[in-house]
């Protein structure tokens, strides 16, 4: 199918699904090639900010400080909570690209730039060509659903001729 035709079908099905949702009916179709997003939690960074806030809180009780110390302590706590609940790391798997959140922007990688995808018992490693660092997603550190991620990445690797190595066995 041409891209224009795909866009028209997607637009029309989206409009019909909105109408059916207002009527209380089930949607007519779902897009099988839509991007799937796997979200985790940033435990280390948010934990670091919360530990710094607690450290400042316990050191402030022994020394007398002005209002700026309290503002600093609360700021570290708010940043830690913000990172834990709102700024979650993710992996978005679409038809031809993989995306993740970088420090200041979204990083996209196409199938041509991926060397291999390695799935181990509690982690997924995406190796890149060249000097680009690898992407590592773990169950323990970032609370990703590695099993569901492995199934989707296997499908992605088959569609785009990327080497897929399964080391769980």
**What's the pLDDT at 62?**
58
**What's the pLDDT at 31?**
62
Is position 1 within any domain?
no
**Do 103 and 135 share a domain, yes or no?**
yes
Is position 48 within any domain?
yes
Number of domains into which the chain is organized:
2
Burial class (CB in 10 A: 0-12, 13-18, 19+), 17: middle
- pLDDT single digits (tens) 16-65: 888 888 888 877 766 666 788 999 998 999 999 999 999 988 887 655 66
Give phi and psi for 167, each to the nearest 5: -105, 20
**Do 99 and 75 share a domain, yes or no?**
no
- pLDDT single digits (tens) 87-131: 899 999 998 899 998 888 999 999 999 999 999 989 999 999 988
**Do 69 and 114 share a domain, yes or no?**
no
Is position 13 within any domain?
no
Is position 17 within any domain?
no
**Do 160 and 99 share a domain, yes or no?**
yes
How many of the other CB atoms lie within 10 Å of CB of 83?
21
Question: Is the distance from CB of 161 to CB of 117 less than 8 angstroms?
Answer: no
**What's the pLDDT at 98?**
94
Is position 26 within any domain?
no
Write the DSSP assignment of 140-164 as a string of letters: HHH---HHHHHHHHHHHHHHHT-EE
Closest CA to 158 of 95, 113, 71: 95
């Amino acid at each position: 199918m041409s891209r224009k035709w795909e866009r028209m079908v997607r637009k029309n099905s989206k409009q019909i699904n909105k109408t059916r949702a207002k009527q209380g009916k089930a949607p007519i179709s779902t897009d099988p090639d839509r991007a799937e997003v796997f979200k985790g939690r940033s435990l280390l960074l948010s934990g670091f900010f919360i530990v710094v806030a607690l450290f400042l809180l316990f050191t402030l009780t022994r020394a007398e400080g002005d209002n700026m110390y309290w503002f600093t302590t609360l700021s570290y706590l708010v940043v830690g909570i913000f990172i834990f609940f709102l700024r979650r790391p993710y992996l978005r798997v679409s038809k031809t690209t993989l995306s993740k959140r970088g420090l200041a922007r979204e990083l996209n990688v196409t199938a041509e730039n991926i060397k291999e995808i390695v799935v181990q018992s509690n982690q997924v490693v995406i190796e890149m060509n060249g000097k680009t660092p690898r992407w590592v997603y773990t169950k323990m550190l970032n609370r990703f659903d590695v099993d569901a991620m492995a199934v989707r990445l296997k499908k992605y690797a088959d569609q785009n001729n990327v080497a897929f190595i399964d080391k769980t066995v």
